[in-house]
Amino acid sequence: MKLVEEANVPETTAVSESMRSMIDIDGAIALFPTSFGYFDPHILKMAAEYPDVQFFHAGGLYQEGKTPKNVASYFGYIDESQYVAGIVAGLTSKTGKLGFVGAKPIPQVLRNINAFTMGARSVKPTITTQVIFTGNWAEPIKEAEATNSMADQGIDVVTCHVDSPKVVMETAEKRGIYTSGYHADQSALAPKGYLTGAEWDWTNIYSQLAEELRTGKKVSDGTIPHILRGALKEGFCKISPYGPAVSAEAKKAADDAKAKLIDGSLVIYQGELKDNQGKVVIPAGQALKQTDPKLETMDYLVDGVLGSIGS
């Protein structure tokens, strides 16, 4: 059995040709083309061409009756971890100003920005988050410039959603401000200022899918779900260990929120919720649980975020 994960292939026809090679030459029975932009058109095209091969994409949204039956979408609700990290940031910040360096204003990034901000404002309602979009997933010069600009503005906690948080973490540490990580534990990059972070734990989902494929299960026959999601409770994501600057108060507040997210008593997205233009995006009395498909099409920044989509 061959399972192949594909990433960082130039987003041209070479993507489809690379998949075709893995199937025709390597004999792959399942592909994980994980990069942003691969879902449409590359995965959809190849899935139709190879109906016996199973395709899995991180983040692409399967649509019943439209998406090929041999395609599955998996992702983690890491915005739960960002919410908890936001609480730590809010209770640690001295200036009440947070910063977020984002790659692209797509729903997954917007959810992280919004959840981080709402977590912070749950413990400090007047706090703000300045957001800067670099325009791409790996822009180290722009990431450094954005972080330095934030430090110059008095922002004292910075986080990010880019391919590699290394530049943001190291730049912030040099400027003497706090950081909250993303993807994995970056505490070694900012030993003084690292507070915590939102981490993925892909070992859970990949191990589960590999075992199911090994035993003959398939997406195409419905024995593997087309949409697979999980959060803190399911172990798809986690929180980085707390850094030395995190107070006992912040640890307790964060741990309490984490426990409530896991037991379901805390719902992040509930009304009345306004965007940063004053428009009501979730009416009073309405709550959107993590599995609500509306959240996977998020196109707004919440109240408290400074900046705009595309900025």
CATH class of 3-76+201-230: alpha beta
Band of residue 12 on the pLDDT scale cut at 50, 70, 90: low
Cα separation, 292 vs 272, in Å, equals 17
The Cβ of residue 244 has, within 10 Å, a number of other Cβ atoms equal to: 10
DSSP string of 276-297, one letter each residue: TTS-EEE-TT-EE-TT-GGGGG
pLDDT tens profile 20-64: 999 999 999 999 998 878 999 999 999 999 999 999 999 888 899
Q: In the chain, what are the domain boundaries?
A: 3-76+201-230, 79-199+239-306
Cα separation, 50 vs 245, in Å, equals 53
Peptide bond connecting 191 to the previous residue in cis, omega within 30 degrees of 0: no
Confidence (pTM)? 0.90
Q: What pLDDT does 311 receive?
A: 54
What does the angle CA 272 – CA 159 – CA 204 come to, to the nearest 5 degrees?
Answer: 85
pLDDT tens profile 142-156: 999 999 999 999 999
Is the pLDDT assigned to residue 190 strictly greater than 60? yes
The CA-to-CA distance between both ends of the chain, in Å, stands at 45
Q: Which two tokens stand for residue 121?
A: 């404002």
Cα separation, 199 vs 146, in Å, equals 22
- In this prediction, what percent of the chain has a pLDDT beyond 70? 95
Cα separation, 165 vs 143, in Å, equals 9
Q: Phi and psi dihedrals of 77, rounded to 5?
A: -85, 70
Structure letter (DSSP) for residue 188: G
Is the pLDDT assigned to residue 8 strictly greater than 50? no
Query: Do the Cβ atoms of 181 and 227 come closer than 8 Å?
Result: no
The CATH classification of domain 79-199+239-306, taken from the options 3.40.50.2300, 1.20.120.450, 2.120.10.80, 3.20.20.140: 3.40.50.2300
